[in-house]
Chain A
Amino acid sequence: MQNEESRCLLKSVGAVVISSFFILGSSFLSGCLRDEPPADVTIINNAEPESLDPAIITGLPEFRIMLGLFEGLMRLDPKTAEPIPGLAQSCDISSDGCTYTFHLRTNLVWSTGEPIAADDVVYSWLRSADPATASDYAGLFFYLKNGEDFVTGKLKDPSLMGIHAPDKYTVRVELNHPTSFFLKLCTMPVMSVVPRQTIEKYGARWLMARPLPSCAPFELAYWRPNDKIRLVKNPRYWDAANTRSQTIDLLPVGSPDTALNLYENGQADIVLDRTLVPGELLDVLLKRPDFHPFDYLGSYFIRINVTKKPFDDPRVRQALALAIDKERIVTKITRAGEKAAPTLVPPWTANYDAPSGLGYDPALARKLLAEAGYPNGKGFPKFEYMFNGAAGGGDKIHQDIAIELQQMWRDNLGIQMVLRQVEWKVLLSSYSHLDYEIARSSWVGDYNDANTFLDCFLSDSGNNRTGWKNPRFDALIHEANEQKDLPKRAKLLEQAESLLVHDELPVIPIYYYVGLDYFDTNKIEGFYQNILDDHPLEYIGRTRRGSN
């Protein structure tokens, strides 16, 4: 009897456990149902943002969302990506080019109603430059007086840094030397204005505050990780009258097939980034009018570790470069209209004259290799080419290019290369520790100026990662960046780049990136391709036809 009672009890408990399980499941199910109206515009923005803090973000998907929430003294023109007035209505530049006086608009308020003043700008810049914030882009403040000392922690008093607020509507910035692209830097997220009152109240969790104060065209309605970010129009933005859409959704879709399906099904209006175009369908999709390729400020190149033999010999590096048929790579592998790159800096970069670079000349390549002591590749050690890979998607291009390079160097120079595919983080770590021989790499410019590419290869730059040090190159870059005369500056930069891609070649440029967005111009307007692929959200909206 006792056993029967125990068994009954056990069965009852079991029934309760199993029922609870299914009740719980049902509640989850009901929690997943969302009854919300669709946004005016839905944009597939590639990856899930790591953060929306302007001081610490580094990726383009984050930049795009952040542009809608936090504005700086300058903002981007949607067509040209050139700086236009943002929170500052005007800027005076001193005759020596070292002092910038920004005059703020007098009607600026946060979306939550608090006024925005010059002190907020100073606070935001000092926060970004503060070593405790650990901003990857804090290097941009090196152009300010005492900026480098403050960022590196040598200077403790932030008031000595070259940014001050002499009055409520004036921000004065003092530079170390004239910097012709400084206004472009002022459009960067690291120089955006952030809500001091919220940061002081919530600390590291300030982005979770709701409502989150915004000083840009939109407010953050919600942020569901790996699901959706919804932005709603900020009625208190100084230019709210020109914000086209009431709501914009940004979806973090990583799979190109899914992105295309959502677009074809009408669940997304705009898809950003070349990586979200299925590679197998590229030839077909490029013929469609809603697929828009454009010149992009980015380059794909090979990085060479010049501290390792035999790559310490410039003739070897030149031989490698001359033996690559870059046209074949862009025609057979990348196929989106990329152009073979003789230089690192794309030729459509502003205020810039590209040097000639090296072309495809296998005979000259063999001659140089022989001069370096390896006639027909004899005696040349087997070496590794490192690249990153992932399942499917755009990353397969690196493998295809690696195989192509392996064949070209074998056929043209008689040298053996081993392919080594590693994880992305492992590749980056190899760069930093110079633990590679040759590796694939790329660089996307942050602002429309050649300096964003070339200063990476200064001897003391953390982005160098080749072991290459050239005092002449450093001197040319420094001189160019202090030059007010733009044609003279362009000439200096041209000389510097010639050293980089013609004479010394710690890097071998392969092709310039092509951007590729897809959207229907009959349904969407205010979206323009520019070389930075930055798209200020306030201009984007539906056409009348697209609204029906």
Chain B
Amino acid sequence: MYFLKRILFAIPLLLVISLIAFVLVRLTPGSPFDRERAPASPEIEQNLNAAYHVGEPVWKQYLRFYGLIWEKGEDGHWHHAAASFNISTKYRSHRISDIISQALPVSMTLGVLAFGVAMGIGLPLGFITAAQRGRWLDYAGGFLAILAVCVPGFVIGPLLVLIFAVKFHWLPVALWESPAHMVLPAFALGLFSAGKIARLFREGMLNAMQSEFVAAARAKGLSENILLLKHAVRTAVLPVVSLSGPMLADLLTGSFVIENIFQIPGIGVFFINSIINKDCAMTVDLALLYAILLIGLNLIVDFSYTLLDPRVKYE
């Protein structure tokens, strides 16, 4: 019942998100059809704006986006106007659904791989630095984690390309054609999150190691490894789980910087270009997609709490 309520509540939330995104794009100066070359005549510009309803009031364009407009035709009868949510003003030969159906799986694949890198590096690093607190491994691991968080993707990406692709020719420099092409972008995208997870997990582990149930388990004579791996980890991982929902949503919807560096045909590039080009429908569609992923993943995160911590119950 709790999760059903959350899902139902998401519907008006998505409507509000789409409205805000729509209005913000429409209010920015310029038209999606502003070009360096002016149309041959004002009539052509008017025709273009009329075909894409650019000159209409914002409220009417918003309703048209969802197909909620009826118009009187030349025959004098009322006709339902087609929804505009699938029409791009920039990529006029493609439907937005065509673009998303091709680009989203790519971004999601990259996102899942980057998530795997983040978890695969962040969790062990956090565990080791917590278990070896105060020793050189803790300091070295902490330094690496902070480095991963502070160095941006547009620095890490080209560095990885320079070393592993250009210098040693171990991996491809760019494009998206085989599993080998996915390695460098996954690391470039995932390292930042790995650093965050490492620090968060270390913090969680240190807190868990000081808790009463761990002290009781230690008093019972359990070995330190079992203590940490079986008892402390379950509590320590909760903050990581909280973070992983929004983090995964962020990774799955593509990164413009990484996709640009590695020329990956993901959704991130289209997101940024849609804003730059005032492609309203594409911007709103992608904002909604991100919102749906974020809401969905947060739901999964909340659900997973019940699996990890028996004390958690939802009413």
Listed in ascending order, the chain A residues whose CB lies under 8 Å from chain B are 7, 10-11, 14, 17-18, 21-22, 25, 28-29, 31-34, 48, 50-53, 56, 58, 131-132, 134-140, 142, 148, 151-153, 204-205, 207-208, 224-227, 251, 253-255, 257-258, 261-262, 264-265, 267, 423-426, 428-429, 432, 442-443, 461-463, 465
By beta carbon, the residue of chain A nearest B39 is A136
By beta carbon, the residue of chain B nearest A252 is B263
Q: Using A255-B261, A265-B165 as known contacts, say yes or no to A32 and B43 having CB atoms under 8 A apart.
A: no
Chain B residues near A131: list those with CB within 8 A: 43-44, 47
Q: Is the CB of A28 within 8 A of B263?
A: no
Q: Is the CB of B276 within 8 A of A423?
A: yes
Q: Is the CB of B161 within 8 A of A225?
A: no
By beta carbon, the residue of chain A nearest B275 is A423
Q: Is the CB of B103 within 8 A of A225?
A: yes
Q: Using A208-B98, A227-B176 as known contacts, say yes or no to A261 and B165 having CB atoms under 8 A apart.
A: yes
By beta carbon, the residue of chain B nearest A253 is B263
Chain B residues near A267: list those with CB within 8 A: 172-175
Q: Is the CB of B92 within 8 A of A255?
A: no
Q: Is the CB of A425 within 8 A of B306?
A: no
Chain A residues near B103: list those with CB within 8 A: 225-226
Tell me the smallest distance from the CB of A393 to a CB of chain B, in Å. Answer: 10
B91 CB contact (under 8 Å) in A51, A261, A426, A443: A51
Q: Is the CB of B35 within 8 A of A134?
A: no
Tell me the smallest distance from the CB of A143 to a CB of chain B, in Å. Answer: 11
Q: Is the CB of A224 within 8 A of B102?
A: yes
Q: Is the CB of B108 within 8 A of A28?
A: yes
Inter-chain CA distance A137–B39, complex, in Å, is 7
Contact with A along B176-195 (1 / 0, CB 8 A): 11110010000000000000
The 7 A-B residue pairs with the shortest CB-CB distance in the complex, in nearest-first order: A139-B40, A462-B38, A227-B265, A429-B30, A425-B30, A428-B34, A261-B173
Inter-chain CA distance A255–B158, complex, in Å, is 11
Inter-chain CA distance A528–B118, complex, in Å, is 48
Asked if B4 lies at the interface with its beta carbon under 8 angstroms from chain A, I say no
Besides the contacts A58-B37, A258-B260, what 16 more A-B pairs have beta carbons closer than 8 Å? A21-B300, A29-B179, A34-B178, A51-B91, A131-B44, A134-B51, A136-B37, A151-B43, A152-B41, A225-B99, A226-B265, A253-B263, A258-B261, A264-B166, A265-B165, A425-B28
Contact with A along B159-173 (1 / 0, CB 8 A): 001000110000011
Contact with A along B19-30 (1 / 0, CB 8 A): 000000000111
- Among A11, A22, A48, A443, chain B packs the most CB atoms within 10 A around the CB of A48
Chain B residues near A31: list those with CB within 8 A: 105, 109
Q: Is the CB of B109 within 8 A of A207?
A: no
A151 CB contact (under 8 Å) in B30, B44, B45, B166: B44
Chain A residues near B261: list those with CB within 8 A: 255, 257-258
Q: Is the CB of A32 within 8 A of B176?
A: yes
List, sorted by A's number, 13 A–B pairs whose CB atoms are closer than 8 Å. A50-B91, A132-B51, A135-B44, A137-B37, A142-B40, A225-B98, A226-B270, A261-B165, A261-B166, A265-B172, A429-B30, A432-B34, A442-B36
Chain A residues near B113: list those with CB within 8 A: 29
Chain B residues near A258: list those with CB within 8 A: 173-174, 260-263
Inter-chain CA distance A34–B303, complex, in Å, is 36
Listed in ascending order, the chain B residues whose CB lies under 8 Å from chain A are 28-32, 34-45, 47-48, 51, 90-95, 98-99, 102-103, 105-106, 108-109, 112-113, 158, 161, 165-166, 172-179, 182, 260-263, 265-266, 269-270, 276-278, 300, 303-304, 306-307
Q: Is the CB of B307 within 8 A of A10?
A: yes
Q: Is the CB of B108 within 8 A of A50?
A: no
Inter-chain CA distance A152–B40, complex, in Å, is 9
Q: Is the CB of B40 within 8 A of A14?
A: no
Q: Using A258-B263, A261-B161 as known contacts, say yes or no to A134 and B44 having CB atoms under 8 A apart.
A: yes
Inter-chain CA distance A33–B303, complex, in Å, is 33
Inter-chain CA distance A14–B299, complex, in Å, is 11
Chain B residues near A132: list those with CB within 8 A: 47, 51
Chain A residues near B112: list those with CB within 8 A: 22, 25, 28-29
By beta carbon, the residue of chain A nearest B34 is A428
By beta carbon, the residue of chain A nearest B50 is A134
Chain B residues near A432: list those with CB within 8 A: 34, 38
Inter-chain CA distance A32–B177, complex, in Å, is 7
Q: Is the CB of A52 within 8 A of B93?
A: yes
Inter-chain CA distance A32–B122, complex, in Å, is 26
Q: Is the CB of B263 within 8 A of A32?
A: no
Q: Is the CB of B41 within 8 A of A34?
A: no
Inter-chain CA distance A257–B157, complex, in Å, is 11
Inter-chain CA distance A442–B37, complex, in Å, is 10
Q: Is the CB of B260 within 8 A of A255?
A: yes
Q: Is the CB of B174 within 8 A of A261?
A: yes
Inter-chain CA distance A253–B109, complex, in Å, is 20
A50 CB contact (under 8 Å) in B28, B90, B278: B90
Chain B residues near A251: list those with CB within 8 A: 175, 263
Q: Using A58-B35, A134-B51, A208-B98 as known contacts, say yes or no to A226 and B269 having CB atoms under 8 A apart.
A: yes
By beta carbon, the residue of chain B nearest A148 is B41
Chain A residues near B35: list those with CB within 8 A: 58, 136, 428
Inter-chain CA distance A255–B276, complex, in Å, is 17
By beta carbon, the residue of chain B nearest A462 is B38
By beta carbon, the residue of chain B nearest A13 is B303
By beta carbon, the residue of chain B nearest A139 is B40
Chain B residues near A32: list those with CB within 8 A: 105-106, 109, 176, 182
Inter-chain CA distance A281–B212, complex, in Å, is 61
By beta carbon, the residue of chain B nearest A260 is B173
Q: Is the CB of A10 within 8 A of B306?
A: yes
Tell me the smallest distance from the CB of A254 to a CB of chain B, in Å. Answer: 6
Chain B residues near A207: list those with CB within 8 A: 93
Inter-chain CA distance A226–B92, complex, in Å, is 14
Q: Using A51-B91, A462-B41 as known contacts, say yes or no to A225 and B174 having CB atoms under 8 A apart.
A: no
Q: Using A254-B260, A261-B161 as known contacts, say yes or no to A152 and B43 having CB atoms under 8 A apart.
A: yes
Chain B residues near A428: list those with CB within 8 A: 30, 34-36
Tell me the smallest distance from the CB of B134 to a CB of chain A, in Å. Answer: 36
Inter-chain CA distance A48–B282, complex, in Å, is 16
Q: Is the CB of B277 within 8 A of A225?
A: no
Tell me the smallest distance from the CB of B138 to a CB of chain A, in Å. Answer: 32
Tell me the smallest distance from the CB of B153 to a CB of chain A, in Å. Answer: 13
By beta carbon, the residue of chain A nearest B161 is A261
Inter-chain CA distance A153–B112, complex, in Å, is 53
Inter-chain CA distance A58–B39, complex, in Å, is 10
By beta carbon, the residue of chain A nearest B49 is A134
Chain B residues near A134: list those with CB within 8 A: 39, 44-45, 47-48, 51
Tell me the smallest distance from the CB of A388 to a CB of chain B, in Å. Answer: 10
Chain A residues near B48: list those with CB within 8 A: 134
Chain A residues near B304: list those with CB within 8 A: 14, 18
Chain A residues near B36: list those with CB within 8 A: 428, 442-443
Tell me the smallest distance from the CB of B299 to a CB of chain A, in Å. Answer: 10
Chain A residues near B39: list those with CB within 8 A: 134, 136, 138-139, 462
